[in-house]
């Protein structure tokens, strides 16, 4: 692969409402939790590198830590005057943690919770507005119109510029958008998570909503760096996910091997090929691979300069059809593609 052209990261429209964001963003979750040990100094160096090369679309959530990821970014903005204006900052609310039970996950889309969550995120981040505010998961006990009505009030108050929704079912997306226009849909999308291509992607394009794939590297699996279940540390949440265990893990290694073979032919890494495939899906697609290390940040960002031909894309479809991956995305699929009441 030739030297990467990071100019391709330049901000472009995300949705049709006026929001602009770098072509590829940075998922910050792993800097604080879920993917093994963390180190704030290395994470700060990663944020510095992201600014330097133009990865200026940063994604966090109140539930990461919980709260510590927003605090990390807030500390960065305070110690780097002027950095806030360079960043398209996205955060989320709606998933509830319990300090007494680390495994607990609840959902809350009540209007009063919308307002209090936004205020708390603004405080932790140390900013006066959030560029993109997502409902992290719809609350199936609350009408989506109630939740998005309260989110619209945040826009009117100047606390939030644009709205997003994550892991929602098509009808919920349509109803939410009719209540308060949505700029971005964040859903899992990668070579081993292609379910949204059937309904969500066409709906987003019908409504003029941008697409933000999270876990575009298959939670790290598509990088080729994971070869054994023993590669996961004791605090790594992937240990309990169906795709990373037992027979499913072994079957999915075959997919990675096929991706690696093609990546070698393109003089790039398997992860770069996976990201280049997403970029080839359209200019409305802004993937947010997560990393906590500067070197991997640069490697991921270099994918924007990889051009895939129609023949390449057809071959990738053969390598990784929608039905190839073994195992569900989550152990509890209630948190995927949620339909509101």
Name the residues annotated as catalytic: 64
Number of Cβ within a 10 Å radius of residue 27: 27
Nearest to 66 by CA among 98, 106, 112: 98
Torsion of CA 334, 322, 8, 47, to 10 degrees: 40
Q: Give whole-number Cα distances, 112 to 81, 140, 147, 222, in Å.
A: 33, 16, 9, 40
Structure tokens at 46: 């990663």
């Amino acid at each position: 692969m030739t030297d990467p052209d990071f100019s391709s990261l330049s901000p472009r429209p995300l949705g049709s409402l006026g929001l602009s964001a770098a072509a590829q963003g940075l998922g910050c979750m792993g800097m604080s939790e879920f993917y093994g040990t963390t180190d704030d100094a290395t994470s700060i160096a990663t944020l510095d590198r992201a600014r330097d090369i133009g990865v200026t679309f940063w994604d966090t959530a109140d539930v990461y830590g919980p709260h510590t990821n927003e605090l990390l970014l807030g500390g960065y903005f305070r110690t780097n005057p002027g950095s806030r204006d360079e960043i398209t900052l996205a955060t989320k609310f709606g998933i509830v943690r319990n300090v007494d039970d680390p495994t607990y996950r609840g959902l809350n889309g009540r209007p009063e919770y919308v307002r209090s969550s936004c205020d708390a995120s603004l405080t932790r981040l140390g900013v006066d507005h959030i560029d993109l505010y997502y409902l992290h998961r719809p609350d199936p006990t609350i009408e989506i119109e109630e939740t998005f009505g309260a989110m619209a009030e945040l826009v009117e108050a100047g606390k939030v510029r644009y709205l997003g929704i994550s892991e929602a079912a098509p009808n919920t997306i349509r109803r939410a958008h009719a209540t308060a226009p949505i700029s971005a849909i964040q859903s899992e999308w990668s070579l081993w998570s292609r379910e949204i291509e059937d309904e969500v992607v066409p709906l987003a394009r019908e409504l003029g909503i941008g697409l933000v794939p999270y876990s575009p590297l298959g939670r790290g699996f598509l990088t080729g760096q994971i070869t054994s279940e023993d590669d996961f540390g004791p605090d790594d949440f992937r240990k309990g996910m169906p795709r990373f265990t037992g027979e499913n893990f072994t079957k999915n290694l075959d997919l990675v091997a096929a991706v690696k073979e093609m990546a070698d032919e393109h003089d790039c890494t398997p992860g770069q090929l996976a990201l280049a495939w997403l970029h080839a899906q359209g200019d409305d697609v802004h993937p947010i691979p997560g990393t906590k290390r500067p070197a991997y940040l640069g490697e991921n960002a270099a994918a924007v300069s990889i051009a895939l031909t129609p023949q390449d894309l057809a071959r990738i479809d053969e390598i990784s059809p929608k039905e190839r991956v073994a195992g569900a995305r989550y152990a509890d699929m209630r948190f995927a593609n949620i339909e509101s009441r």
